[in-house]
Structure 1
Amino acid sequence: MARSNLAPASPGLRYGLHALLVGLAGFAVVRAFVVSSPKAGWVLGVGLAFVFVYLAGAGTARRRRDHPVPRRVALWWVTGLTVLWAALTWLSPEGAYLVFPLFFLYLYLLPGHRGVVVIVLATAFAVVALGLHLGFSVGGVMGPLVGAGVALLIGWAYGALRREAEARERLLAELIRTRQQLADTEREQGTLAERARLAREIHDTVAQGLSSIQMLLRAAERDVPEPGAGYLRLARETAADSLAETRQIIHELTPARLGEGLASALGRLAREQAERSRIRIEVGTEEIELPMATQTALLRLAQGALSNAIRHADASRIDVDLARDGDAVSLTVRDDGRGFEVEGAVASAHEEGSFGIQAMRERVAQFDGTLDIASTPGHGTTVTARLPLHSESEATE
């Protein structure tokens, strides 16, 4: 039988249901012999069959906890139980008591309106069977009706609890994924910033020193006669080889995606996203000297904004602009999609466990910047991130 996150809610409830069904079936059988019913033999046979079928299905479900029984088999099982219960109730009025625990099986295996319909039919059958056995009375009618009402209320509460638990699990999973993504991004930013710092340090010290040595040796080579000039020439060539190797090291330390600058990286990102989404994406940028950490942050912000626009905006065109704005750099992602109410959408996204916008805000906050989202239903959305231009040391700390 199919299982859910809360089924069974606890071993106590599961074993309690088992004991209730077996106990009520046993009570019907014993009662038939106590009153010397002429149908006692039939009641015994049907009662044993009912208990056997129920325990066989429950045992199979327990053994296959990791591989639930197919739904079709579970439906045949509950159908067989219902037929045996109807036969037992027709033979003995005490069999009608079994309908109450059966209600919970119906609600579990037949969620939604189907379970309610089956409960109504089972209740009607129990009322008729009791009336034929004992005569129709208020108690004979109200008993099954009250039992059905209580079962439906408990089933509704259980369903609400299950939905809340599933929502919490989704929220927790999204939170864990987002936290991991933020941690990975922070590590990536730190790694890229450190690689960029090393590349700059090597460029400004070793590479510049080797270049100066090469120039000085070239000048000295012209003024020194042989054989000294030959040694100077050899030293100059050695310095040139070392300078070439140093530049190769600098190139390898530069992050691949940002190796040609942020403008080129944004262009590649736009082309990749346009090919996947079939949406026209235009990039307008100016080449700006930025710390590697700032470049990485702006690239990640562009990725997040483009992803949101492609998934939710239903846009035909997206524009990405990067420009210097006084003592700051601004990244603007603008789409011509359907737009939305900003405050309501942000609150709804937070309630549903979507952390895309929150992650962008946190990333901007790391650089003491600002994130502005402007949107109107039917008139598109504009996301603008503005990061101050700190000194190189500040950006890489």
Structure 2
Amino acid sequence: MTDYPFPPALRLLRWAIHGTFAILLVIAVAAAARQGQAPPALGGTLLGVLYAVGILIERRLPHYGGQTHLRLGRIWLVVITLGWAALALASPQFVWLAFPLFFAYLHLLPLSVALPGVAVLTVAAILAAAWHEGRLTSAQIIGPTIGAAVATLMAMVYKVLYAESEERRLLIDDLVRTRGKLVEVESDAARLAERERLAREIHDTLAQGMSSIILLLRAARRDLAEDPAAAEHHIAEAEHAAQENLEEARNFVRALAPPVLQHSSLVAALRRISDSAVAGTSTQVRFEVSGTPVPLPAAYDATLLRVAQGALGNVSRHSGAEHAGVTLTYLDDAVILDVYDDGHGFDVSNPDGQAAGTGYGLRVMRERVRTLEGTLAVESSPGEGTAVVATLPLLRGEAA
């Protein structure tokens, strides 16, 4: 009767009831016409039109089950009932139209009203049949009574199915809302993760490069008066570092690999940044490779390079070390990067990291390594230097 969200089984049941009413009405009108009963035949046709109009109106009503729907439906039911009563008294062929009306009563009225209404309708059908026969028989009692009982039972099943359908619909609506909230939470988490990733990239690339440029320019200014050749060398190094930083920025926007890795291996890239990261300072860096180098996944190369840049950046800015070392070790099941220095050191129990810094660089390095299921160990104490060891596991077939 309306396009509310019922499952197919319930919609089929509703249309079966309407179909039963239509079939019984057509049979009754045809029988009355054959017997020359023009007024009942015309009345039956009018009743069918009113029934169809009610269905059409109901299909166009919004908010199924609302007060407007119920009010109009009950008015429609009263009109149909009165029309049926008049036809049932006029011709016995219309008595059996009471059967689909049982369902309408049980559907549109609360049970406290519907059940007495069905009982009254049943008694009316029995009396109408007896009126036309001129006597009351057991068949006249049993037929409408069984019809009322079957209709009541089916209506109860219908209500149970409807309740389950409504419960399922509410559950689906709740799941849809929950899914929407989860999407929002995941979107927020993704934004936070992307913000953290951008912060790591900026810290490990642009910030480190700028630090190197500043150190080189300071060294050039220091040597400008006494050693112009050394100053020129520092300026050239700063220019080269600025060019690399520009490439880092461009590739950072494009989300590409670090430019230092685009045209060289990890070993060559680490050797290069070992020389440039502490340029302009008195720190001497030694780079070593242990084991047999093997090709690594691009994510491993980028992570190890960023860890080395971050650790060497800390050496140049905070340690005041005379010597530092970078060791890349290839094992059968892991690759290890070790960056150490003989500088001031710091208290590793301090959650903020180095006293002179923010500790953000170490946290970034840990997060990078943890992303690849690796570990980052930091060993240091005041006056004893610092060692940063990054270990990335190599599963079978992961190298190359």
Q: TM-score, normalised by structure 1?
A: 0.50
Q: Which has the higher contact order (CA 8 A, sep 6+)?
A: 1
Q: TM-score, normalised by structure 2?
A: 0.49
Query: Which is higher, the Rg of structure 1 or of structure 2?
Result: 2
